[in-house]
């Protein structure tokens, strides 16, 4: 039997007698977990299975063990969140929501009073299983944000950029998302926030956005001056708010896809030259990414465009900076990634998926342009690929369900997106099953908690180090934060690594990595302690 993580490995740094701080909701009693005032240090045995194919087409599975040391810095510090698209539906909604939570606001609706909350946030509104009580056999669950030290959203300093110069109170009215009684309670604070001027390259977003572009940095194509301008904005925001760290997140308009061109955006050096030369295939979001990387501020892309061209990923790796993307997974796609995983895991063969969206907010207006819609179509269409590829019983090589995505701009529905899906599948003995869903998604109210999760988790990852047991120094995770995949439609992964879209696997990856950081084994639903008598 493989050794348990609590035995057969050396103690961490010889500090096993260090007491855990009293403020923690839980502590782990193990010779492989050390609490100091500044850090949590863990020695962890990671179990995997290596599989080889034999010449006769069979497989040999070999259990493997690797020993890793983790270290989590316990001091969170003061954190800032800078949003690109601060004056948009998502930017105004998340800002108003954080202010409402800071003040514990209650407001009246026609359905009665409502109180500020963080529903929809994995970090703030979900729990994880810690273990079981051996006497009662009951599971013990704790809030997700108690697994490791995390910044509280109420403590985030908020700023950012927008091509529209409206203050956030006016922009909140324009968005038409929040209840009037809530808006009146946060209006004063939001009126004092005005977005910084942003960069605007007309070729990358729909022409129908031009009338909003009254708050722009001079220049209509990429330049190194734009990079330096944005870098200064980040530094000034950090200094003026006394921040230890800043996380930058793109929640602005969907851009068209940038063409990948050899010698332009295929390597880090070529991308820098392309920006310096003002090449037309460098997008605003990529310029923001480069500026953030140079300021060591994690940059997350919440829209579907290919911000992270190969040169941008290489640039992040070169500077040991964190990036994550792409496209918030809030409504229809989250349902799809859960339902498809369930059906295929149940041995039901999906043969077609048809997704229709009616969207009336400014995102829908921008997506009414074909080039911008194509970016969204790609991010929505690839979400089932890994689940299909994993089941070679149902699907032969290169076989894939028909998958159609349609988005139509319908101003009347506003931010209440209508998502209609039909799943058509083959079942036992030539039978068929059709599942039809009608999902009314209050778009920005689903996306805003994802923004919070992405920022909180990205900041946490800047404080997590790991190394092999033999290595001398801790190092950070790879620059591409695939741990954020649960919140993103088209999750970015390190080059050469598999993409995981199945929702349950994505959630398990986050939970189990954090459990490893405190010396606990992955969550298990085997419950052998209740089955073996």
Question: What strands lie across the sheet with 416-426, from one edge to the other?
Answer: 402-409, 349-359, 416-426, 432-442
- Token couple for 269: 């050096």
Place of tokens 């990387």: 293
- 371 classed as catalytic: no
Using DSSP, state whether 315 is helix, strand or coil.
helix
Catalytic residue among 194, 329, 349, 489: 489
Read out DSSP for 324-383? EES-B--SHHHHHHHHHHHHHHTT-EEEEEEEEEEE-SHHHHHHTSHHHHHHHHHHHHGG
Q: Residue 34 and residue 28: Cα distance in Å, rounded? A: 9
Output the CA angle 226-193-448, nearest 5 degrees: 85
Q: Residue 101 and residue 49: Cα distance in Å, rounded? A: 45
- 417 classed as catalytic: yes
Q: Residue 224 and residue 221: Cα distance in Å, rounded? A: 10
Catalytic residue among 41, 417, 443, 453: 417
- 22 classed as catalytic: no
Q: Residue 299 and residue 302: Cα distance in Å, rounded? A: 10
Q: Residue 420 and residue 359: Cα distance in Å, rounded? A: 12
In contact, 147 and 514? CB cutoff 8 Å: yes
Q: Give whole-number Cα distances, 163 to 167, 197, 214, 229, in Å.
A: 12, 6, 6, 15
Catalytic residue among 341, 376, 443, 453: 376
- Taking the CA atoms of residue 98, residue 99, residue 105 and residue 107 in that order, the dihedral angle to the nearest 10 degrees is -90
In contact, 198 and 222? CB cutoff 8 Å: no
Of the candidates 68, 42, 47, the residue with the CA atom closest to the CA atom of residue 3: 47
- Token couple for 71: 């270290």
In contact, 315 and 272? CB cutoff 8 Å: yes
Q: What is the DSSP letter of 144?
A: G
Of the candidates 448, 519, 463, 504, the residue with the CA atom closest to the CA atom of residue 123: 448
Q: Give whole-number Cα distances, 473 to 148, 164, 216, 423, 468, in Å.
A: 21, 46, 44, 50, 9
- 327 classed as catalytic: yes
Q: Residue 320 and residue 464: Cα distance in Å, rounded? A: 13
Catalytic residue among 327, 341, 443, 453: 327
End-to-end, the C-alpha distance of the chain in Å comes to 20
Active site residues: 327, 376, 417, 489
């Amino acid at each position: 039997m493989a050794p348990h993580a609590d035995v057969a490995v050396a103690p961490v740094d010889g500090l096993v007698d260090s007491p855990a701080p009293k403020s923690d909701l839980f502590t782990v009693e193990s010779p492989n977990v050390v609490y100091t005032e500044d850090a949590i240090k863990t020695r962890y045995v990671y179990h995997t299975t290596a599989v080889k194919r034999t010449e006769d087409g069979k497989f040999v599975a070999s259990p493997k063990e690797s020993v890793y040391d983790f270290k989590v810095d316990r001091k969170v510090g003061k954190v800032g969140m800078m949003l690109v698209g601060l004056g948009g539906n998502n930017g105004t909604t998340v800002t108003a929501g954080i202010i409402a939570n800071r003040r514990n606001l209650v407001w009246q609706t026609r359905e009665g009073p409502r109180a500020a909350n963080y529903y929809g946030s994995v970090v703030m509104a979900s729990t994880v299983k810690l273990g079981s009580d051996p006497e009662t056999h009951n599971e013990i669950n704790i809030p997700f944000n108690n697994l490791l030290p995390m910044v509280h959203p109420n403590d985030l300093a908020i700023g950012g950029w927008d091509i529209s110069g409206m203050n956030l109170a006016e922009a909140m009215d324009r968005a038409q998302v929040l209840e009037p009684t809530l808006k009146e309670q946060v209006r004063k604070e939001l009126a004092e926030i005005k977005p910084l001027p942003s960069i605007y390259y007309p070729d990358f977003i729909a022409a129908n956005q031009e009338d909003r572009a009254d708050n722009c940095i001079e220049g209509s194509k990429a330049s190194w001056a734009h990079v330096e301008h944005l870098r200064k904005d980040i530094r000034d925001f950090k200094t003026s708010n006394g921040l230890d760290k800043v996380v930058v997140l793109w929640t602005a308009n969907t851009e068209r896809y940038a063409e990948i061109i050899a010698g332009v955006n295929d390597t880090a050096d070529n991308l820098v030259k392309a920006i310096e030369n003002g090449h037309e295939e460098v997008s605003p979001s990529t310029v923001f990414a480069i500026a953030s990387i140079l300021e060591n501020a994690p940059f997350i892309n919440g829209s579907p465009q290919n911000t992270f061209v190969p040169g941008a990923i290489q640039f992040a790796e070169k500077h040991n900076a964190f990036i994550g993307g792409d496209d918030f997974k809030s409504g229809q796609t989250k349902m799809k990634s859960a339902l498809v995983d369930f059906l295929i895991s149940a041995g039901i063969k999906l043969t077609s998926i048809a997704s229709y969206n009616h969207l009336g907010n400014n995102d829908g207006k921008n997506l009414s342009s074909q080039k911008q819609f194509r970016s969204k179509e790609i991010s929505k269409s690839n979400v089932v690929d890994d689940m299909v590829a994993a089941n070679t019983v149902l699907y032969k090589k290169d076989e894939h369900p028909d998958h159609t995505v349609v988005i139509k701009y319908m101003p009347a529905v506003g931010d209440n997106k209508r998502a209609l899906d039909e799943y058509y599948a083959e079942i036992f003995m030539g039978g068929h099953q059709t599942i039809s869903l009608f999902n009314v998604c209050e778009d920005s109210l689903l996306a805003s908690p994802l923004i919070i999760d992405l920022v909180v988790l990205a900041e946490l990852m800047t404080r997590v180090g790991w190394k092999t047991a033999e290595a001398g120094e801790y190092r950070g995770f790879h620059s591409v934060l695939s741990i954020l995949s649960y919140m993103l439609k088209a999750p970015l992964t390190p080059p050469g690594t598999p993409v995981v879209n199945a929702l349950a696997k994505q959630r398990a990856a986050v939970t189990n990595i954090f459990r490893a950081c405190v010396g606990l084994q992955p969550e298990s639903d085997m419950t052998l302690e209740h089955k073996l008598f």
